[in-house]
Amino acid sequence: MPIAVTDYNHVRLTVSDIDRSRSFYDSVFGFDVAYAWDPDADDETKEALWFLFGGVIYKFGGGLLGLRPVAPSDDTFAEDRCGLDHLSFTVDTRAALEDAVKTLDELGIAHEGIKDAGPGLSILEFRDPDNIALELSGPDK
């Protein structure tokens, strides 16, 4: 009998530099922070937030997205290895995809053009500072 899951709870990405990654995710997405590591916090707070591993967890949509800064500084993501291929976020309109192109351009973030990905779907691909493949998915019209 299959396990009856109802939604995803969280995704955590391993990153090499939390300051660089937080700057990227904050400026690109502006997600609300659910939990963030504070190296100056008291011992009780640090113990309570052990699960952050020095990172941050954002809340958006129906779940959480975490950044865990434990990768070596010279490591980089490759979607051709076992594990994550890419992470795609939903936008509601074609105009939101077009606005995302402008935002990425303003932030100096390299990206592909908006692509037709099949009936009714368009995507916009780009990468985070650790080369993690990100995508925005939305309607084609």
- Listed residue (82, 74, 69) closest to 25, CA to CA: 69
* pLDDT of 141 above 90: no
Q: What is the pLDDT of residues 3-49, one digit of tens each?
A: 988 888 999 999 999 999 999 999 999 999 999 999 999 999 999 99
pTM: 0.92
Contacts of 85 (CB under 8 A, 6+ apart): 79, 133
Tokens of 95: 């105009």
Name which residue leads in pLDDT, 6 or 111: 111
pLDDT score recorded for residue 6: 84
Confidence of residue 103 (pLDDT cuts 50, 70, 90): very high
Instruction: Spell out the alpha helix ranges (H) of 38-92.
Output: 43-48
Q: Which of 49, 55, 63, 57 is nearest to 15 (CA)?
A: 55
